[in-house]
């Protein structure tokens, strides 16, 4: 799992986000949203602080999820992270 957390952190950094994101915490936040849903494709919002919000899209299939993208809204800046891109 550590490789997955590191990959998440790298993708977010490569998208230009200057803040620090903990890959494990990010994964757990998204997993929590996925746990609330049945199979299908969903848009989601995770509000971390007044200034920091994650908005994204995921597909849930039988207890697993595929995160397609997340837009990190940090104040007036938006950073798009495409998890489907190689």
Per-domain boundaries in the chain: 2-82
CB 64 within 8 A of CB 79: no
Structure tokens at 80: 């798009």
Which pLDDT score, from 0 to 100, does residue 38 have?
Answer: 92
Element (H, E) at 59: strand 52-61
pLDDT digits (tens, 9 = 90+) for 47-79: 999 999 999 999 999 888 999 999 999 999 999
What contacts 14, CB < 8 A, 6 or more positions away? none
Which pLDDT score, from 0 to 100, does residue 63 have?
Answer: 80
What contacts 19, CB < 8 A, 6 or more positions away? 52, 74
Q: What are phi and psi of 36, to 5 degrees?
A: -80, -5
Which pLDDT score, from 0 to 100, does residue 36 have?
Answer: 78
pTM score of the predicted model: 0.90
């Amino acid at each position: 799992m550590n490789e997955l957390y590191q990959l998440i952190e790298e993708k977010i950094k490569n998208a230009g986000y200057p803040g620090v994101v903990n890959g494990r915490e990010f994964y757990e936040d998204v997993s929590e949203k996925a746990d609330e849903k049945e199979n299908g494709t969903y848009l989601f919002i995770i509000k971390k602080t007044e200034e920091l919000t994650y908005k994204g899209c995921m597909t849930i299939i039988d207890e697993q999820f595929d995160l397609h993208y997340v837009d990190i809204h940090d104040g007036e800046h938006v950073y798009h992270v495409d998890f489907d891109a190689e």
